[in-house]
Every structure is written in C-alpha cells, then in structure tokens.
Amino acid sequence: MNTETKGEATKQHLINVGSMLFYQQGYNNTGLSQILKEAKVTKGSFYFHFNDKESFGLAIIDYYIKIFKDLSAQHLNNNQLTPTQKIDAFHHFYLELVKQHDFKCGCPIGNFSQELSALHPEFSIKIKSAFDSMVFTLSKVISEGVLVGEFNATNDIEALASFIIDSWEGALLRMKSVKSAEPLDNWYLFTKKLLITNT
C-alpha cells in the first residue's frame, strides 16, 4: 500500500467515524477530541486532510449525499421496482434504520440543516445541494409513476417532490420528539394517497 492510498484510507476513516458521531450527537455536540479518540487518529493526521472542523463537516455532508445516492440505487432508482414499490421500499428501509437508533437520529442532512444552515453560509449552500439532489431523485420516480398511470397527473412534479421531501423531514423531526414510528407511518400513508391514482 503506498502513502497516498494510506492517506486516503485515513481520510475516509475519519469521515466514517465523524459522520456517525455527528448523526448520533449532532455537529455542535461533537468535539474534535472525541472524533480523534474514536478514530484513533492523531491531530496532525486530521489537519493534514482538513483545515478545520467546518471543512470536515462539509466533507461529511458530501459523504451523506453519496450514501443517499447509493441507497437510492437500491430503492428509488431500482429499475426492478414499480414507482409505487420504490416509494414502499424507501419508506420501509428508512423506518427500519431509525428504529435501530430508537427514533433519536432522523435524517443526517435535516439534522445539519437545523443546526447550521442559519449560522454558516457554506453549510447552507451544501445542504441546499443535498436537498436538491433528494428532490431530483424523487421527481424522477413521480414522473415515471405518472407516465405509467400509477400516480396522479400533476403540472409541477418538482414542486410535488419538494413538498414530499419537506414533509418527510418534518415527520422525522416529530418522530424524534415522540420517539415513535407514527409520524413516519402517517407521512407514508398520506404520501401514497397524494400520489397514487384511485387510492
């Protein structure tokens, strides 16, 4: 293994550890010392790859976007599923994920948005890009559903997709408060009523 490969492995390891700590505890509640301790990496190694905690956080948002795209390939972009089945798969996957964390963690992008969008312009831009990516992915599913007659026709698919993503984020926020799957199940029920013809 050459030096560059080792360096990239260290950088990715830091991102993996930091992304989980930020997801579980939040950005502001996670200190650099804890990240270094959990990752078993020196401060020098951290600053070799990242200028500061903010640049580290921005890299982690990119990582969250990549994870969403990878998971979308299994669910929302899965050509083996019908549009309705894609919505079903998306919901059931994330429901099981948040259950594993006792309904405490929600959406990592949504969490960053709540903590940092109003305070850090660079985070705000990056978070907007993440949400735009989510809306774009869902828009494709809705377009497909309309085309094959599974979903109700609409004149503004992007606005509908944006509304569904926004309501999903709201359901996740309420889920963390009530420590229950009910908000997400309600979101799923009413989203399908909104989308699906003759529901």
Identity at 22, one-letter amino acid code:
F
Task: Quote the radius of gyration of the chain (alpha carbons, Å).
Answer: 19
DSSP string, 80-143: TS-HHHHHHHHHHHHHHHHHHTTT----HHHHHHHHHTTT-HHHHHHHHHHHHHHHHHHHHHHH
- Condensed to tens digits (0 to 9), the pLDDT of residues 169-195 reads 999 999 999 999 999 999 999 999 999
pTM above 0.75, yes or no: yes
* Residue located via tokens 């260290």: 10
- Please report the pLDDT score of residue 116 as a whole number: 84
- Cβ neighbours, 10 Å, residue 48: 12
- Condensed to tens digits (0 to 9), the pLDDT of residues 131-155 reads 999 999 999 999 999 999 999 988 8
Identity at 132, one-letter amino acid code:
D
The one-character DSSP state at 196 is B
Closest CA to 181 of 59, 63, 68, 98: 98
- Cβ neighbours, 10 Å, residue 166: 13
Q: Which residues of the chain are under the pLDDT cut of 50? A: 1
Domains of the chain: 1-50 (1.10.10.60), 57-195 (1.10.357.10)
Q: How far apart are CA 167 and CA 158, in angstroms?
A: 14
Burial of 2: CB neighbours in 10 Å, binned 0-12, 13-18, 19+: exposed
Identity at 5, one-letter amino acid code:
T
